[in-house]
Amino acid sequence: MLPDSSDPPENTQTPEHAEARRPAQVGVVVIGYNDRAHVADAVRSALAQGPSVAEVVAVDDCSTDGSAELLDRLAADDPRLRVVRRDENSGGCGSPRNTGIDAVTAPYVMFLDSDDVLPPGAVDALLTAATGAHAEVASGLCVRRELPSGREQLWQDTLYTAHAVLARPAQRPRLVHDTLCVNKLYRTDFLREHGIRFPEGRFLYEDFVFTARVLAAAPRIALVPDRVYVWHVRRSAERLSLSLDREHIDNWKARTRACTLAYDILLGAGQKELARAARAKFLEHEVRMYARELGLRDAQYRRAWWTHTREHLARYDAADWELNPAAPGRLLGRLILESPEPRDLPRIRDLAARPARLLPPYARTPDGVPVWSEDLPQLALTPFLTSPTRALPLALDAELRPQAGAAPLTLRLHELYGRVAEAGPRELDVHWASRNDDRVRGHATAALAPAGTDLWSAELPVHLGALGAGTWDLRLTVRFADGAEREVTAHARAGAGRLRRRAVVSVRHGVLLVQPYATHSGALALRVATGVRGVTQVLRNRLRRLLH
């Protein structure tokens, strides 16, 4: 393993340095369909990587919006750009990427979608790592950037904290969590020699299968902490990307199909540890992500999702459930298997949240064994009795009462089978994080005091005017007498008008429109509009939605 890098995650290499070290060796495959508004930015970001890029192969999947003609004009200005037009639209991303693999002549290849970009220095960072380590694959950080807000989230960043070289993927089973194909550089002859390709046609989550095929071939892998890919997430777009459109049951079926195929590929190649890790990832990522959205779907979708998930999980063996039995995804999976019909959706939503919250009731069998509920005594929660405090699915709930001046925020921490009292809850560290940018406001610390049976509470003031306009997420850290800490979010208490929009007087802004609300995962968040103009805009938007 290489030593930790002392450099920041941004790349500092320059094209001039790269040119002095090596000839052009990388082909970038850009795929697109009817994305004329963004494809030029993607292509330019690839060409701007400098002389390390020998060619950019733009594969147009039979667009009808003038994308191909735009690409032709770009190609006239740079001989490194080649445009390949497919005669028929494939309906997915796999086929055009395969076309790109066939067309590339460079020793290394990487992939870029038409609505994303490569940050400066990405190719050099990956190429330096691959050639220096004699690795067939080099991989780096992907950044999910929400548009238009610009808010960023690092994808699977725990894999990319430092430079590392793995002789084989099994040395780091968590690699199965990074299913993206776009934040990686591949040796072209490695892909061709092993026949590694994407599923053809309209196959959603094709990168799950491609990544499994790559890992199954046991390549030498170099990891870098550099940002090498910017994934643009446009949730307000008229046409959501295929992977973000989760409202229909066919999306879930496609996802489970891809996960099943990935597992079969890894197991068939003798990569048992990676195959087991892939099943664990399905529980902790896929099941949790979709389960916390079940309450947003209709009854027909819920039944179909539940039935399909039970059929999928029925293939798991005992060893799949033994690994980390206290993990929230495993508990959810066991609940789904034990229950023929959807149930306890609000509680499931909170357990599927990140971090997880296990809401009351905390049932026990007559002999004192912790269980999910009295009518499901077979679903034991005994792993929580020995889990470290920092990993417990602690349940806090919160109520904010908007008013002029300081609005009181009441927080309650629930007992969890004696573990909370055992650790000794002392205080809560509280702050509000902006959903729109990197602002953090309202930092405070409040002591926790006993508040009846199996409860501890704290109350502190929130100065709403100081927060400012935007959407704010409540973030908390529980500190215990034994030195343990647990980062948590708080379940939003509902009912009795608690989550109602209110107008309040503000010294700073004149007026505020404030709405506490529950996020999709049940956590308390806050929307604030400031001043007459801000309040008026909110009311206009609401009226527009009602009229349409």
* 116 and 53 belong to one structural domain: yes
* 353 and 406 belong to one structural domain: no
In a domain, 9, yes or no: no
Tell which of 341, 358, 386 closes a domain. Answer: 386
Q: Which two tokens stand for residue 150?
A: 């610009």
* 273 and 181 belong to one structural domain: no
In a domain, 356, yes or no: yes
> What CATH number is attached to the domain comprising 76?
3.90.550.10
Provide CB contacts within 8 A for 254, sequence distance 6+. 203, 204, 205
Give the residue from 108, 123, 101, 50 showing the smallest Cα distance to 80.
Answer: 50
> What CATH number is attached to the domain comprising 438?
2.60.40.10
Tell which of 386, 417, 436 closes a domain. Answer: 386
Q: Which domain holds residue 118?
A: 15-233
In a domain, 214, yes or no: yes
- Give the SS3 label for residue 104: coil
* 227 and 310 belong to one structural domain: no
* 420 and 336 belong to one structural domain: no
* 371 and 489 belong to one structural domain: no
The pTM assigned to this predicted structure is: 0.90
522 torsion bin: left (phi>0), alpha (psi -120 to 50), beta (else): left
In a domain, 330, yes or no: yes
In a domain, 500, yes or no: yes
Residue identified by tokens 């300081």 is 406
Cα separations (Å) of 164 from 114, 119, 386? Answer: 30, 21, 33
Tell which of 386, 416, 451 closes a domain. Answer: 386
In a domain, 243, yes or no: no
Per-residue pLDDT of the chain (548 residues; tens, 9 = 90+): 333 333 334 454 444 444 445 678 999 999 999 999 999 999 999 999 999 999 999 999 999 999 999 999 999 999 999 999 999 999 999 999 999 999 999 999 999 999 999 999 999 999 999 999 999 999 999 999 988 888 889 999 999 999 999 999 999 999 999 999 999 999 999 999 999 999 999 999 999 999 999 999 999 999 999 999 999 998 665 555 556 678 899 999 999 999 999 999 999 999 999 999 999 999 999 999 999 999 999 999 999 999 999 999 999 999 999 889 999 999 999 999 999 999 999 999 999 999 999 999 999 999 999 999 999 999 999 999 999 999 999 999 999 999 998 999 999 999 999 999 999 999 999 999 998 888 999 999 999 999 989 999 999 999 999 999 999 999 999 999 989 999 999 999 998 889 999 999 998 999 999 999 999 999 999 999 998 887 788 777 777 766 66
CA 435 to chain centroid, in Å, comes to 15
* 109 and 169 belong to one structural domain: yes
* 40 and 184 belong to one structural domain: yes
In a domain, 436, yes or no: yes
The number of folded domains in the chain is 3
Q: Which regions of 489-523 does DSSP assign to beta strands (E)?
A: 491-492, 502-506, 510-518
Helices (H), 134-229: 188-193, 206-216
* 279 and 299 belong to one structural domain: yes
